[in-house]
Chains A and B, each alone.
Chain A
Amino acid sequence: MPNNSIQKNVLHAIDGYSDAMDHQKQLEQTGTDFTEQKGAVAHTISKLHPKRLSLEVCEIIQDTPSTKTFRFVSTGLPLPPFQAGQYINLFVNIDGVETARPYAISSAPLTRGYYDLTVKLVENGFVTNFLLNNVKVGDQFQSTGPMGTFYHNPLYHGKDLVFLAGGSGIAPARAMIKDIADRDLPYKFHLIYASRYVDDVIFDEELAELDAAHAFLKITQVISRPPEGYQGRRGHLNADVIKELTGSPESKMFYLCGPTSFHDFCAEQLETLNVKARKVRIECNGPPKNPETLEGWPADLLPAKEVKVTIKGKGSFKARVDEPLLNSMERNGYSAENACRSGECSLCRVKVVKGNVFNPSEARLRETDAQYGWCHSCVAFPTEDVEILV
Chain B
Amino acid sequence: MKDFDVVVIGAGNAGLTAAVAAQRGGARTLLLERHNIPGGCATSFVRGNFEFEVALHQLSGMGTKEKPFILRQIFQKLGIMDKLEIVQERELYRITMPGEFDVTLPASWTGLRKMLIETYPSESESIPKFLSLCEAVTKEAFMMLPRAQKANDETILKSSCPNYVKYGLRPFKDVLDEFFDDEDLKTVIAAYWCYVGMPPKDIPFQDMAMMIYSYAAFKPCHIKGGSQAVSSALLESFLDAGGEARFNCGAEKIITEDEKIKGVRSEYGETFSCDSVISNTSPIHTFNELLDAETPPEQVANDFKSRRVGTSAFVLYLGLDCTPEEIGISAASTFIIDDRDEELAHKNMEAMVPPCHTMVTCYNYDDPSFAPEGKSTLSLLCLQYGEPWENVPPEDYAETKYDFADHLIEHAERVFPGIRDNIEEVEVATPLTMMRYLNTPGGAIYGFRQNTQEGVMFRERMNAIGGLFMAGCWNGMGGFQPTYMIGESTGRAAVKYIAKQKAKKEEVTCA
Q: How many whole Å from B297's CB to the nearest CB in chain A?
A: 10
Residues in B neighbouring A40, C-beta threshold 8 A: 441
Which B residues between 205 and 234 are near A, CB-CB below 8 angstroms? Answer: 224-226, 228-229, 232-233
Q: How many whole Å from A337's CB to the nearest CB in chain B?
A: 5
* B458 partner, pick from A20, A45, A154, A369, beta carbons under 8 A: A20
* A45 partner, pick from B305, B405, B424, B432, beta carbons under 8 A: B432
Residues in B neighbouring A366, C-beta threshold 8 A: 44-46, 51, 225, 228
Residues in B neighbouring A39, C-beta threshold 8 A: 289
**Does B166 sit within 8 A of A, measured CB to CB?**
yes
A10 touches B229 (CB 8 A): no
* A2 partner, pick from B420, B440, B458, beta carbons under 8 A: B458
**Does A346 sit within 8 A of B, measured CB to CB?**
yes
A24 touches B458 (CB 8 A): yes
How many angstroms between the C-alpha atoms of A277 and B170 in the bound complex?
A: 53
Residues in B neighbouring A15, C-beta threshold 8 A: 165-170
Residues in B neighbouring A49, C-beta threshold 8 A: 436
B460 touches A41 (CB 8 A): no
A368 touches B232 (CB 8 A): yes
B397 touches A24 (CB 8 A): no
**Does A137 sit within 8 A of B, measured CB to CB?**
no
Q: How many whole Å from A175's CB to the nearest CB in chain B?
A: 13
**Segment touching A, from B91-99, B106-114, B118-126, B145-153:** B145-153
How many angstroms between the C-alpha atoms of A112 and B395 in the bound complex?
A: 9
B426 touches A367 (CB 8 A): no
Q: How many whole Å from B308's CB to the nearest CB in chain A?
A: 7
A372 touches B232 (CB 8 A): yes
Chain A residue with minimal CB distance to B420? A156
**Does B74 sit within 8 A of A, measured CB to CB?**
no
A1/B232 contact (C-beta < 8 A), A38-B289, A45-B436, A347-B36 known: no
**Does B177 sit within 8 A of A, measured CB to CB?**
no
Chain A residue with minimal CB distance to B167? A15
Residues in A neighbouring B204, C-beta threshold 8 A: 16, 20
How many angstroms between the C-alpha atoms of A81 and B452 in the bound complex?
A: 41
Residues in B neighbouring A112, C-beta threshold 8 A: 395
B394 touches A48 (CB 8 A): yes
B304 touches A9 (CB 8 A): no
**Does B132 sit within 8 A of A, measured CB to CB?**
no
Q: Mask for A38-72, Cβ within 8 A of B = 1, else 0?
A: 11110011011100000000000000000000000
How many angstroms between the C-alpha atoms of A82 and B6 in the bound complex?
A: 41
B420 touches A155 (CB 8 A): yes
Q: How many whole Å from B85's CB to the nearest CB in chain A?
A: 10
Residues in B neighbouring A83, C-beta threshold 8 A: 398
Residues in B neighbouring A28, C-beta threshold 8 A: 302, 305-306
Chain A residue with minimal CB distance to B166? A15
A31 touches B229 (CB 8 A): no
Chain A residue with minimal CB distance to B421? A156
Q: How many whole Å from B403's CB to the nearest CB in chain A?
A: 9
**Does B158 sit within 8 A of A, measured CB to CB?**
yes
Residues in B neighbouring A3, C-beta threshold 8 A: 458, 460
**Does A153 sit within 8 A of B, measured CB to CB?**
yes
* A32 partner, pick from B83, B151, B304, B406, beta carbons under 8 A: B304
**Does B509 sit within 8 A of A, measured CB to CB?**
no
A368 touches B436 (CB 8 A): no
**Does A371 sit within 8 A of B, measured CB to CB?**
yes
**Does B179 sit within 8 A of A, measured CB to CB?**
no
A31 touches B304 (CB 8 A): yes
A33 touches B426 (CB 8 A): no
A47 touches B46 (CB 8 A): no
**Does B157 sit within 8 A of A, measured CB to CB?**
yes
Chain A residue with minimal CB distance to B204? A16
**Does A34 sit within 8 A of B, measured CB to CB?**
yes
Which B residues between 295 and 315 are near A, CB-CB below 8 angstroms? Answer: 295-296, 299-308
How many angstroms between the C-alpha atoms of A259 and B16 in the bound complex?
A: 42
A10/B304 contact (C-beta < 8 A), A37-B284, A37-B441, A38-B289 known: no
**Does A122 sit within 8 A of B, measured CB to CB?**
no
* A41 partner, pick from B51, B395, B441, beta carbons under 8 A: B441
Residues in A neighbouring B169, C-beta threshold 8 A: 14-17, 19-20
How many angstroms between the C-alpha atoms of A41 and B443 in the bound complex?
A: 8
B46 touches A35 (CB 8 A): no
How many angstroms between the C-alpha atoms of A48 and B431 in the bound complex?
A: 13
Residues in A neighbouring B284, C-beta threshold 8 A: 34, 37
How many of B's residues come within 8 Å of A, CB to CB? 85
Chain A residue with minimal CB distance to B462? A1
Which label, helix, strand, loop or mixed, suits the secondary structure of the B interface?
Answer: helix
B321 touches A276 (CB 8 A): yes
How many angstroms between the C-alpha atoms of A47 and B229 in the bound complex?
A: 33
* A346 partner, pick from B36, B304, B420, B458, beta carbons under 8 A: B36
Residues in A neighbouring B420, C-beta threshold 8 A: 155-156
A364/B302 contact (C-beta < 8 A), A15-B166, A31-B308 known: no
How many angstroms between the C-alpha atoms of A32 and B233 in the bound complex?
A: 39
How many angstroms between the C-alpha atoms of A95 and B74 in the bound complex?
A: 52
Chain A residue with minimal CB distance to B397? A48
Chain A residue with minimal CB distance to B45? A346
Residues in A neighbouring B151, C-beta threshold 8 A: 10
Q: How many whole Å from A26's CB to the nearest CB in chain B?
A: 8
Residues in B neighbouring A372, C-beta threshold 8 A: 232, 235-236
B452 touches A34 (CB 8 A): no
Residues in B neighbouring A24, C-beta threshold 8 A: 306, 453, 458
B226 touches A367 (CB 8 A): yes
Q: How many whole Å from A205's CB to the nearest CB in chain B?
A: 29
**Does A243 sit within 8 A of B, measured CB to CB?**
no
How many angstroms between the C-alpha atoms of A21 and B288 in the bound complex?
A: 25
Residues in B neighbouring A34, C-beta threshold 8 A: 284, 288, 304, 441
Residues in A neighbouring B36, C-beta threshold 8 A: 337, 346-349
A25/B226 contact (C-beta < 8 A), A33-B295, A33-B301, A35-B296 known: no
**Does A269 sit within 8 A of B, measured CB to CB?**
no
How many angstroms between the C-alpha atoms of A2 and B236 in the bound complex?
A: 39
Q: Mask for A343-365, Cβ within 8 A of B = 1, else 0?
A: 01011110000000000000011
Highest count of chain B CB atoms <10 Å: which of A44, A47, A153, A372 = A44
**Does B87 sit within 8 A of A, measured CB to CB?**
no
**Does A23 sit within 8 A of B, measured CB to CB?**
yes
Q: How many whole Å from A378's CB to the nearest CB in chain B?
A: 12
A154/B37 contact (C-beta < 8 A), A27-B306, A367-B229 known: no
**Does A278 sit within 8 A of B, measured CB to CB?**
yes
Q: How many whole Å from A372's CB to the nearest CB in chain B?
A: 5
Highest count of chain A CB atoms <10 Å: which of B153, B171, B303, B409 = B303
**Does A8 sit within 8 A of B, measured CB to CB?**
yes
A35 touches B288 (CB 8 A): yes
Highest count of chain A CB atoms <10 Å: which of B46, B307, B425, B435 = B46
* B440 partner, pick from A1, A19, A41, A47, beta carbons under 8 A: A41
Q: How many whole Å from B388's CB to the nearest CB in chain A?
A: 13
Residues in A neighbouring B82, C-beta threshold 8 A: none
Q: How many whole Å from B449's CB to the nearest CB in chain A?
A: 9
How many angstroms between the C-alpha atoms of A153 and B164 in the bound complex?
A: 51
Which B residues between 392 and 417 are near A, CB-CB below 8 angstroms? Answer: 394-395, 397-398, 402, 405-406, 409
A16 touches B304 (CB 8 A): no
B432 touches A44 (CB 8 A): yes
How many angstroms between the C-alpha atoms of A111 and B249 in the bound complex?
A: 34
How many angstroms between the C-alpha atoms of A47 and B296 in the bound complex?
A: 27
A-B contact sample (6 more), CB < 8 A, given A16-B452, A278-B423 = A8-B152, A10-B157, A15-B168, A17-B169, A33-B296, A40-B441
Which residues of B does A touch, CB under 8 Å?
A: 36-37, 44-49, 51, 83, 148-149, 151-154, 157-158, 164-171, 204, 224-226, 228-229, 232-233, 235-236, 248, 284-285, 288-289, 295-296, 299-308, 321, 390, 394-395, 397-398, 402, 405-406, 409, 420, 422-428, 432, 435-436, 439-441, 451-453, 455, 457-460
Ordered by A's residue number, 23 sampled pairs between the chains whose C-beta atoms are within 8 Å are A1-B460, A3-B458, A10-B157, A11-B157, A14-B169, A15-B168, A15-B170, A19-B452, A24-B453, A27-B453, A35-B288, A41-B439, A44-B435, A80-B394, A83-B398, A154-B402, A278-B422, A346-B37, A347-B36, A366-B45, A367-B44, A367-B51, A367-B226
